[in-house]
Amino acid sequence: MVDQKKLIVSPAPFWHDGSSIPVRQVHTIAAAIPAVLFGVFLYGLPALGVVCLSVSTAMLWELAANRMTGRAYSIGDGNAALIGLLLAMLMPATVPWWAVIIGTCVALFVGKHIYGGIGGNPFNPALIGYAIIMVSWKGLFDFNAALVNYDFGFNMIYPLAAVKQHGAAAAANYPLCSLLLGMQTGGIGATFGLGLILGGLYLIVRGFIRWEISISFLAGVFITALLFNIANPVKFADPFFHLLTGYTLIGAFFLATDDSSSPVNLIPMLLYGAGAGVMTMLIRNIGAYVDGVVFAVLLFNIANPLLDKIRPKALGKVIDHA
Amino acid sequence: MLKKSFFGFTKPWIHYAPINKKPQSPISVQPSGTVTYFLERSFTSRANLLLKTGDSVTTGQKLMLCEGDDTYIISAVNGTIADISPHIGEYGKQQTAVTLSCSPEKTPDTAFADAAGEQTLETVKQFLGAIPGGASFADFENADKSIQTIIVCGMDSDLMVATRQHVVNTRLDAVTSGIAILKQISGVQDVRIAVCKDFVQGYGHIGAKIQFVDTVYPSALPKLAVGQVMGQTVPAGKTCLDMGVFLISVEAVAALADAFETATIPSEKLLTLINKDGSQQLVSAPIGTPVRDILAAFNISLQEKDRIIKGGPMTGFALYSEDHPVEPDTDAILVQDGATIPLYSDYPCINCGECVRVCPARIQVNMLVRFLEARQYQEGADLYDLHSCVDCGLCTVVCVSRIPISQYIQLAKHELAQSQAVEAENG
């Protein structure tokens, strides 16, 4: 009995499908890369600077949070890098460095670590960071003002702002094809529609995001925009325009699908996605903000725990009506 | 090893694999030095024991620890008792390990041969409680649970295991007469045999209604299989026995027939040995043979930090020693290379929902595990359907955070059962 080999003993099951958190984060980052590269290609070094600063400071804040809370270092799992990357994708290329650092700080601490780190956050951390700096320094995210020094030969007015001010007629200046190919102003990684769609489809096919959320979000945006458009074609732009402008696509594939702040059952996922889509269009068309994705998704993040109570009856469950 | 498919948006469909068309014959392995048996009773003192070290034992002899015990073991070999010691089984179960050192000759014990003339429940209970396949015949006499249906399990509930499948394919005659004996001793006429769809061909009249279970894991797990055979779901928190259904392995049914035909107690256990590379081999070994002898017979070298599992990859039980014996219900032995073992992590749940989509019992595993991690077992049972779980382990297989979910669930069930037992005792 003394010279026995030490065997590994563990509870069943003894297989695992090999998935892990780092793999999931790395694939999400990879799916976002085409849209980011397009932004960097368009805006040059300033955009690259924002992306690098955002990703690196997000990771440093993660490290700081790990040290402060005395937990195992989770900087290597890619989640902080993904939050930094998503935040950078939402911002204009000219955003000042301090705004990026504050944004990632808020995203990591207020958005993620005060709830206990990965998996505990009730909101999408990147959106928390973005929303707080957007509300605090409104001028930074006026894309018309921020990108005034750039001219790439296409319509350089921010599409959603143009439609908000001049009505549906302004949408005619943006051919759908050029919107899809990224010929519009906006956030670094939020304008290249084709890249975002391909990245999103990749994530859906590989099972890294839940297709029900993305599709119902887009459907919510489309149907609400269509109803507005039918009600008043002069004032409200057509639904295809709304699908391809602002943060709609990045919202559908990268923001609303954040794991811990979105539901997991079928009906709740559909309600969540559609609700956020409808809310986006309400804010865009009759709200104060030019784009509504950020607040619509945050709002439905809060609704997530309640929505996820709608669930199928478990096997053999006896409901006691007494 | 299982790999997540490239197209990750679909549910993983893991199929039970049929063994080859031409059944391989099992290779026989004999114990080299000792055999060990576990008695289902605690070992408290050495006083008044019927067994003593040095006692000689003959093949097929019934061994009891104390006078009047209802648990016993049947020796599969001739030998002498080398050791009697307490043993702690799964979840701290108190057992007594009896080790015999075997000798090569086989002298049959005659106690069963004398009693085998009449096929009664009493004879079966007295002598055949530890036949290969395992069966608790005492359940037939349990007054508050009347048994209406017997289900003969011809399907292997875990993946990669082909033991019962082999019995169904090669020993239908014995199964047929075993079913007749079962009917006679129990008085239950509704006997059904459950087999995996498409796995078995060419059976005639065997005295039982043949029912198919689905070939996608975990359809052949006991609770789900009973649901398919009976057409009604086993209520959460209830056992199959509570529904009046008695489950018995097809191997035990065949062994029942063998016992009365040959007037000896069968002791050769059929099992599937699954090697490190995933290759399967049918093995026949006397109950009590240490796993070490089986591995040695097939030249499987065991390294430090490898894993030996009694049972299949999804529902088995990891052994901490090579000396662990083959038990009546050991349908498989799985050996895993230490380098390929995925380790659990202490990451929290990220709410990805993979477990919820894969769960055959439709449990909100993501919520349940949050309660169980905080040791709120009763809340987990009340709010998130802990007792609906069928212990298939799929949630743990697909978990992105690599949480030992199944362990939490089994621990929670165990703790709740214990506290309920204590409450019942205190009135």
pLDDT over 90 at B105, yes or no: no
Q: What's residue B21's pLDDT?
A: 57
- How far the first Cα of chain B sits from its last, in Å, is 48
- The burial class, CB within 10 Å (0-12 / 13-18 / 19+), for A68 is exposed
Average pLDDT value for chain B: 89
Category of A142 on φ-ψ map: left (φ > 0), alpha (ψ -120 to 50) or beta: beta
- For residue A316, which residues of chain B lie inside 8 Å, CB to CB? 223, 233-238, 361, 388
Interface of A with B in 117-176 (CB under 8 A): 117-120
Q: Which of A131-135, A318-322, B262-266, B308-312 has the lowest mean pLDDT?
A: A318-322
pLDDT band, very low/low/confident/very high, at B204 (cuts 50, 70, 90): low
Distance from CA of A313 to the nearest CA of B (A): 7
Q: How many CB pairs under 8 A join A and B?
A: 193
Q: Can you tell me the distance from the alpha carbon of B8 to that of B27, in angstroms, rounded to the nearest whole number? A: 40
- Is B386 a residue whose pLDDT tops 60? yes
Residue B199 has what pLDDT?
A: 65
Contact criterion met (CB < 8 Å) for B3 and A206: no
At B139 the pLDDT is 86
Cross-chain Cβ contact B2/A14 below 8 Å = no
To probe the interface with A, which of B10, B230, B315, B347 has the most A CB atoms within 10 Å? B347
The residues near B263 (Cβ < 8 Å, ≥ 6 apart) are B112, B113, B116
pTM: 0.91
> What ipTM does this complex have?
0.91
Q: Which of B242, B350, B396 to mutate to test the interface with A (most CBs of A within 10 A)?
A: B350
Rg (CA), chain A: 21
Contacts of A10 in chain B (CB under 8 A): 307, 318, 341, 344, 404
| pLDDT the model gives residue B38 | 93
User: CA A304 from chain center: how many Å?
Assistant: 16
Q: How many CB atoms lie within 10 A of CB A181?
A: 17
Q: Does the pLDDT value for residue B1 go beyond 70?
A: no
Query: For chain B, what percent of residues have pLDDT higher than 90?
Result: 52
Q: Which two tokens stand for residue A132?
A: 């707080």
pLDDT at B117 over 90: no
Evaluate if residue B217 carries a pLDDT over 80: yes
CA-to-CA distance for B183 and B178, rounded, in angstroms?
Answer: 9
Q: Higher model confidence: residue A230 or residue B279?
A: A230
Write down the pLDDT at residue B364.
Answer: 94
Structure tokens at B376: 């709120």
Query: pLDDT, tens digit, for every residue of B133-167?
Result: 988 888 888 756 788 999 999 999 899 898 998 89
pLDDT of residue B20: 60
Most trustworthy range by pLDDT among A210-224, B202-216, B344-358: A210-224
Q: Nearest Cβ partner of B352 from A6, A72, A259? A: A259
Chain A residues close to B223, C-beta within 8 Å:
316
Residue B96 has pLDDT above 70, yes or no: yes
* Ranges in chain A, pLDDT < 70: 1-3, 319-322
Q: Give the pLDDT score at A320.
A: 62
Domains of chain B: 28-107 (no CATH), 114-262 (3.40.50.11540), 269-340 (3.10.20.90), 354-425 (no CATH)
Minimal CA–CA distance to A129: which of A105, A153, A149?
A105
Of B53-62, B291-300, B355-364, B390-399, the one with minimum mean pLDDT is B53-62
pLDDT confidence of B19, banded at 50, 70, 90? low
Highest mean pLDDT (candidates B64-73, B235-244, B330-339) = B330-339
pLDDT at B293: 94
Residue whose pair of structure tokens reads 């009917």 in the numeric block: B183
Q: Least CA distance to A10: which residue of chain B?
A: B318
- Most distant CA atoms of chain B, gap in Å: 64
Mean pLDDT, range B53-71, rounded to an integer: 87
pLDDT at A161: 93
Residue B419: pLDDT band with limits 50, 70, 90 = very high
Report pLDDT for A26: 96
Q: What is the dihedral of CA A25, A28, A34, A40, to 10 degrees?
A: -50
**The pLDDT of residue B5 is above 90:** no
Q: Using a CB-CB distance cutoff of 8 angstroms, which residues of chain A are in contact with residue B308?
A: 7
Q: Please give the pLDDT value at position B18.
A: 72
Q: Which residue has the higher pLDDT, B71 or B332?
A: B332
How far is residue A31's CA from residue A197's CA, in Å, rounded to a whole number?
A: 9
